Amino acid sequence: MDPRVREHAEVIVEHSVALAEGDNVIIRAPAVAEDLVVALLEAIGDRGGNPVVLDSNARFSRAYLRASEEFETPSHELALIEESDVYIAIRANTNVAEQSDVAPETNAAYSQTRQPILAERLSKRWCLTQYPAPANAQLAERSTEAYENFVWDAILKDWDEVREHQAQLKEILDSGSEVRITSGETTDISMSIAGNPALNDYGEKNLPGGEVFTAPVPETVEGEVLFDKPLYHQSREIHDVYLRFENGTVVEHAASKNEDVLTGVLDTDDGARRLGELGIGMNRDIDQFTYNMLFDEKMGDTVHMAIGRAYGDTVGEENEQNDSAVHVDMIVDMSENSRIEVDGEVIQRDGTFVFEDGFDG
């Protein structure tokens, strides 16, 4: 086994979920991530945790989704999660296109019935991470070895240093109210974040981490945005997502490729037409776009927004939490002709923050 696999498992168990003796743990992983599951089970056994391993093979989801007419919330899976303390989800693929012949409306109906499962998962100590499988390397257009280096370089790093650097942005957002993001001719969107705390993501719930994010106050989102980085959702690439918001709701949408998948997401429920997250990527070690949101959204010089569910801990007590069965992130390239303003003051221009060298206010 590559020694970095056991280092990866140690980061998850020690840093990301802070495993304690007696914790009930769920690991959800496909078989291609077998080595990382073995290393996690060594680390969990060593600390006196109680593991259960769920198999997340995409062929399984495809077979079940295509055969089913209707869905209901699986109460046995819900009971499993309710009785757990820690949820570790490992992403890795054997074929990233495996679910490409599942109808978007089937996925939407399925997500809808799984909303209580998602909510319960998010109420636990959880970590979402990536194992560098060959199919993911293929999607990233890298050799398996180069992709392994990319993934483990992004994961095996000094997360305390990351925390300190990112704390500067968290402070600005926590003391600000109105955020406006402009990029080129195509993006000019504003929203209030008043009362909503910004979270400093330094490799806990997401591994790798490397962003500061919060939730917009849903009804305050106004304007238009072109997400010029593609996203990969339900085994399909969606290009050039365009959204226009009025009073917080998407009133116009388009995409240059696979628009029907986008429409399916937006039609999932009411909350799917509102923003649930505003995130600002700060991880300059992630210097390659790999069609993988877990990495792409953390890139330096980018901003991302998610339609759908807001994370509970990014919503202040006085504010409404946007509720939805979905949470789909999309990315704007901020490296050129772009600005982030907070209460009228420019805090980032063309990717460089006000607290960094080379900032040109």
50 binds its own copies (CB under 8 A): yes
77 binds its own copies (CB under 8 A): yes
Q: Which is nearer to its own copies, 85 or 320 (CB)?
A: 85
55 binds its own copies (CB under 8 A): yes
Q: How many CA atoms lie within 13 A of 205 on its CB side?
A: 13
53 binds its own copies (CB under 8 A): yes
Q: Which is nearer to its own copies, 51 or 271 (CB)?
A: 51
230 binds its own copies (CB under 8 A): no
Q: Which is nearer to its own copies, 13 or 275 (CB)?
A: 13
The minimum distance between CB 271 and its own copies, in angstroms, equals 24
The minimum distance between CB 294 and its own copies, in angstroms, equals 22
103 binds its own copies (CB under 8 A): no
105 binds its own copies (CB under 8 A): no
The minimum distance between CB 77 and its own copies, in angstroms, equals 5
For residue 189 the two structure tokens come to: 């969107």
**Binds its own copies (CB under 8 A): choice among 2, 83, 161, 260:** 83
14 binds its own copies (CB under 8 A): no
Determine the size of the site formed for its own copies (CB under 8 A): 45
37 binds its own copies (CB under 8 A): yes
Q: Which stretch binds its own copies (CB under 8 A): 60-68, 198-206, 276-284, 292-300?
A: 60-68
Residues 225 and 254: their CA atoms lie apart, in Å, by 11
Residues 149 and 142: their CA atoms lie apart, in Å, by 10
135 binds its own copies (CB under 8 A): no
Q: Which is nearer to its own copies, 76 or 185 (CB)?
A: 76
51 binds its own copies (CB under 8 A): yes
Q: Which stretch binds its own copies (CB under 8 A): 61-69, 166-174, 183-191, 220-228?
A: 61-69
69 binds its own copies (CB under 8 A): yes
24 binds its own copies (CB under 8 A): yes
70 binds its own copies (CB under 8 A): yes
Residues 289 and 147: their CA atoms lie apart, in Å, by 12
67 binds its own copies (CB under 8 A): yes
Q: Which is nearer to its own copies, 18 or 54 (CB)?
A: 54
**Binds its own copies (CB under 8 A): choice among 60, 251, 284, 356:** 60
78 binds its own copies (CB under 8 A): yes
3-state secondary structure the chain: CCHHHHHHHHHHHHHHCCCCCCCEEEEEECHHHHHHHHHHHHHHHHCCCEEEEEECCHHHHHHHHHHCCCCCCCHHHHHHHHCCCEEEEEECCCCCCCCCCCCHHHHHHHHHHCHHHHHHHHCCEEEEEECCCHHHHHHCCCCHHHHHHHHHHHHCCCHHHHHHHHHHHHHHHHCCCEEEEEECCCEEEEEECCCCCCEEECCCCEECCCEEEECCCHHHCEEEEEECCCEEECCEEEECEEEEEECCEEEEEECCECHHHHHHHHCCCHHHHCEEEEEEECECCCCCCCCCHHHHCCECCEEEEEEECCCHHHCCCCCCCCCCCCEEEEEEECCCCEEEEECCEEEEECCEECCCCCCCC
358 binds its own copies (CB under 8 A): no
58 binds its own copies (CB under 8 A): no
41 binds its own copies (CB under 8 A): yes
Contact (Cβ atoms closer than 8 angstroms) between residue 267 and residue 108: yes
Q: Identity (one letter) of the amino acid at 183?
A: S
Contact (Cβ atoms closer than 8 angstroms) between residue 57 and residue 63: no
80 binds its own copies (CB under 8 A): yes
**Binding interface with its own copies (CB under 8 A):** 22, 24, 26, 29, 31, 34, 37-39, 41-46, 48, 50-55, 57, 59-60, 63-70, 72, 74-84
